[in-house]
Amino acid sequence: MSASPQLEEAPGARRPLDTRLAAMLRSGRPLRAVFNGLASPAIVEMCAYAGFDFTIIDNEHGGADLGTTEHMLRAARAAGIPAIVRCVEADIARVLDLGASGVQVPMVESAEQAARLARRMRYPMPGGAGGSRGSAFSTRAAGFGAFGGPDHTRLSNEGLVFVAMIETPAGVANAAAIAAVDGVDAVFVGPNDLAHTMGHENRTGDPEVIEAIERVLRAASGAGKAAGVLAPTPADERRFAASGATWFASVASAIVTRALQDVARAGR
């Protein structure tokens, strides 16, 4: 499309993009994240104030439309917590244009698929470098034109995060190759989907499932990429940290439901 007129940056204005997460993942320090499938900017703020390192807005299983997702990203930026969005491939471009710090894509099964997804996240650059993302500076990510141009392109290409989710036996078998792809910043194991696709229903603690999870974590760590996993308890975190995991996720709806149950059942 034709280029939008370049606007002058307002003094003191802050870019909508929060690009801190890439460095956080590379640091190797333990990080705690929370999946948020509740279509509520207030929950995003609560996650920030509770002290989570970052949040994953769950547009694979959650109820937020893109308009609400934009408000959730806005709340994250205001509250000071990086936010990525779990989404299907077709939504990558729009989610990034809304100002996400990155995307987490489910069911990645091969290095070829991971490379294609990584390219969809990044703008084309001179000499054929970069990726295949369509460029528009009228979006929230570019401050609706206030932060467009080459600086926005560079910042987006260098600062946004791509997390490949491994949730199938094929993904487990190809985990090392997926993690080695240039542009894959982190790998995350989805235990529930992995258990189902392995034929174990929701029994994520079965020995074969645990072995597969640990294989993926070791592969990602061995490739120098951040390895993440669902770890709702300290025991889960300790177990998976021993296999190389450095970021551990909980689920907001489960946390809220358990807290409500504790109150509802108190004294009964």
Kindly tell me the sign of the dihedral angle through the C-alpha atoms of 183, 187, 193, 195. positive
Active site residue 152: no
Report the C-alpha gap between 173 and 192 in whole angstroms: 17
How many Cα atoms within 13 Å fall on the side-chain side of residue 135? 21
Instruction: Name the token pair of 234.
Output: 């300290």
Instruction: Name the token pair of 109.
Output: 């099964």
Report the C-alpha gap between 143 and 218 in whole angstroms: 39
Kindly tell me the sign of the dihedral angle through the C-alpha atoms of 60, 66, 67, 72. positive
Active site residues: 61
